[in-house]
Structure 1
Amino acid sequence: MEKKPCSNSLAVKTSHVLPPDTNTHGTLFGGKLMAHIDDVAAIAAVRHARKPVVTASTDSVDFLAPVKEGDSICVEAFVTWTHNTSMEVFVKAVTEELITGDRKVCTTAFLTFVAVDDNGRPIPVPDVYPETELEKLLHKDAPKRAEQRKERRKNSKELAAKFGTNYPWHHENNV
């Protein structure tokens, strides 16, 4: 497979934040922003792989600035790193107060996607290469983030095994 530049996968979505998108504080629901993030990141991953993808993980999403009703939210994503069947996607969300033009980064996140075949089995993806300084920085640090994800996933599996599938779990474990 031929290597592809990070920029080939760039996906951008801008939406107007309307009353149904907001909570009682008049700001965008966090879950709504997370849905935008997953949507745009998935488009970037498909653009890179040119195959169907599934979300494998989302790193922490920190809400850095509120997104108010009437503002716009612009979500940008691109593939920063690949490993066999997986792709790391960097996402930046920017809120803009449309009347004043004041813009703020409201969140950044990394998501991991896996390309899959028609049976849902992982399949190889092309390598990606950075061109800009920012892309190079993200690409260079990606193996460290991948190792952290691997450790977090291991811990999540251990916790899931301890809690099991019974409900209510707290009665079963005398908690």
Structure 2
Amino acid sequence: MSEYRHVVRKWVKPEDLNQHGALFGGRLLQWVDEEAAIVAVTQLGTVDVVTRHMSAIDFSARADRGDLLELEYRVFAFGRTSITLSCRVENAVTGAEVLTLERIVFVAVDREGLPLAHGRTEATVGTERLRARIG
């Protein structure tokens, strides 16, 4: 499989903080899941995907107000109806790894929410698969 890498950056703002003044873990997981869904959509060429699984979640460092986080995604594997990604979150200010998810699995679904074969086997760097379904 060709090497695919998708990076997005998030800035930790006051509204993202928990009662201890650090980034709220739920907010980070929201960012991770949302961007992972975007990766899955562009790779599979359909907006009809659902999160099926996330591997163990272990926050290894904190992020504070003003920190810039880099969320890096890689395609791990394509299944018949699924795509498996990995995600590593690093604090660009401190260089510390904040979170790593070894596996995030998305499944393509039909109108009834049942798994649907997608036919993809290789990663793409663009959004052409998504545009192809419209055209």
**Category of TM-score, reference length = shorter chain:** 0.7 to 0.9
1:56 and 2:52 matched? yes
Per the alignment, residue 103 of structure 1 pairs with: 95
Query: Matched residues in 2 for 1:59 and 1:128: separation?
Result: 22
Per the alignment, residue 5 of structure 1 pairs with: 2
Q: Which runs of 4+ in 1 moved over 4 A?
A: none
> TM-score, length-normalised on structure 1?
0.63
Give the deviation of 1:5 after TM superposition. Answer: 3.2
Give the deviation of 1:121 after TM superposition. Answer: 2.6
1:112 and 2:105 matched? yes
Task: Count how many residue pairs are aligned between Structure 1 and Structure 2.
Answer: 120
Letter in 1 for 2:121: D
Query: Matched residues in 1 for 2:65 and 2:22: separation?
Result: 6
Decide whether the 8 Å contact of 1:27 with 1:66 is kept in 2: yes
Per the alignment, residue 73 of structure 2 pairs with: 77
Query: Matched residues in 1 for 2:23 and 2:122: separation?
Result: 33
Per the alignment, residue 28 of structure 2 pairs with: 33
Letter in 2 for 1:5: S
Over the matched positions of the two proteins, sequence identity in percent amounts to 32
- Rg bigger for which structure? 1
Give the deviation of 1:94 after TM superposition. Answer: 1.0
Letter in 1 for 2:110: D
**Deviations for 1:34-82, whole angstroms, at most 9, x for unmatched residues?**
0011011111111211112100011111101111111011212132112
Q: Which runs of 5+ in 1 are unaligned?
A: 130-175
SS at match of 2:99: strand
- The structure with the largest helix share of the pair is 1
Decide whether the 8 Å contact of 1:45 with 1:87 is kept in 2: yes
Q: Kindly report which structure 2 residues correspond to 1:126-141, keeping only aligned pairs within 5 A, or say none.
A: 126-128=120-122
Q: Which of 13, 17, 26 is the equivalent residue of 2:12? A: 17
Give the deviation of 1:120 after TM superposition. Answer: 2.6
